[in-house]
Amino acid sequence: MEIYQLLPKTNCKKCGKSTCMAFAVALLSWEVAVEDCPPLKDVEFKNNYEKLLEMVAPVEGSTETGLIVHEDKCFGCGNCVVACPVNVANDPHGAGIGRAPTNDKLILRVEDGIVRAFNIQECRRFGENRILCNLCIITCPTEAIEFV
């Protein structure tokens, strides 16, 4: 809602969304970026534009749920990949049974020996019904995953 207040509220559709509210929701789930709203770049919205950038800017290196992978600590063991309930639900015959992902719907997957985050809007710590899930943290041997 705070985000919506800062938008032009003109429903100009230049961003490709039908309303500014729709744009705000898309912004929240990182589907679009602040830059995708052309009117915001006008001088009159300069302050709003900067505020919005600040609001949606993640902590350095973190995703929008605040998930940070400390790559230097990660073993690439994949414990988090297999323990993540969303991964299990989205890929029961891949990640769910400890094997390579069979689709693109995973939140966490291991590449080049290190875990990486994708589709973070699917994380249970995100969205309206968010819960403080910590299964990827407690299954990590090295505290390589952190939420900030």
Residues of this chain that bind other proteins (CB under 8 A): 74-79, 81-83, 85, 88, 92, 94, 96-104, 109-114, 139, 141-142
Nearer to other proteins, 44 or 104 (CB): 104
Residues 6+ apart with CB under 8 A from 66: 58, 59, 125, 147, 148
Q: Phi, psi at residue 125, to the nearest 5°?
A: -85, 5
Report in angstroms how near the CB of residue 132 gets to other proteins at its nearest.
Answer: 16
| Rounded distance between C-alpha atoms, residue 27 and residue 116, angstroms | 22
Nearer to other proteins, 7 or 123 (CB): 123
Report in angstroms how near the CB of residue 112 gets to other proteins at its nearest.
Answer: 6
* Secondary structure letter of residue 27 according to DSSP: H
Nearer to other proteins, 47 or 142 (CB): 142
